[in-house]
Amino acid sequence: MSLDALRGIAGWWFIREVWGDKYLWRVEGRPLISIAASAVRSVSDRVLLLVRDRERASQLLKELPTHIDEFIIDDPGINCSGPLRGMLTALFHVEADEYLIVPGICLGSTKKA
């Protein structure tokens, strides 16, 4: 299935329930998360992946050994959850002049993007 065809599916619930882990679902032979990581790599010399726990980092590392420089584990002391906790963890704990935060399910990513 192409990225364009995926855009037409009505919601991530369908993908999760039918195909499983959306980050590891294969598009054109690649895990979906690797498409986002490659897009970031094209504009940054350092790619960090924000994950909820070490188990998730280990699971994704098997699929992304060359795409990710480092994993950042969500800070449980931040009083929120989900993607917002990940973004705040990065902003609070990673020293950088600029930040580019990209969703792991970057369906609009193309080589042009």
Supply 35's token pair.
Answer: 């498409």
Q: Residue 113 pLDDT > 50, yes or no?
A: no
Q: Residue 9 pLDDT > 90, yes or no?
A: no
What's this model's pTM, rounded to 2 decimal places?
Answer: 0.68
Question: For residue 106, what pLDDT is reported?
Answer: 55
- The whole-angstrom distance between residue 81's C-alpha and the CA centroid of its chain comes to 16
What would the pLDDT profile of 46-55 be if each residue is shown by its tens digit?
A: 888 888 899 9
- Among residues 108, 102, 107, the alpha carbon closest in space to that of 40 is found at 102
Question: For residue 12, what pLDDT is reported?
Answer: 52
Give the number of domains in the chain: 1
**pLDDT over 90, % of the chain:** 12
d(CA 110, CA 39): 8
23 is in which domain, residue-wise?
3-93
C-alpha torsion angle, residues 65, 107, 44, 30 (rounded to 10) = 30
Judge whether 67 and 89 are in contact, CB under 8 Å.
Answer: no
Question: For residue 23, what pLDDT is reported?
Answer: 79
Supply 2's token pair.
Answer: 């192409």
Q: Residue 44 pLDDT > 50, yes or no?
A: yes
Residue 107 within any structural domain of the chain = no
Alpha helix positions (H), 1-113: 3-7, 12-19, 32-41, 54-61, 82-93
Residue 110 within any structural domain of the chain = no
What would the pLDDT profile of 65-93 be if each residue is shown by its tens digit?
A: 777 888 889 999 999 988 889 889 999 98
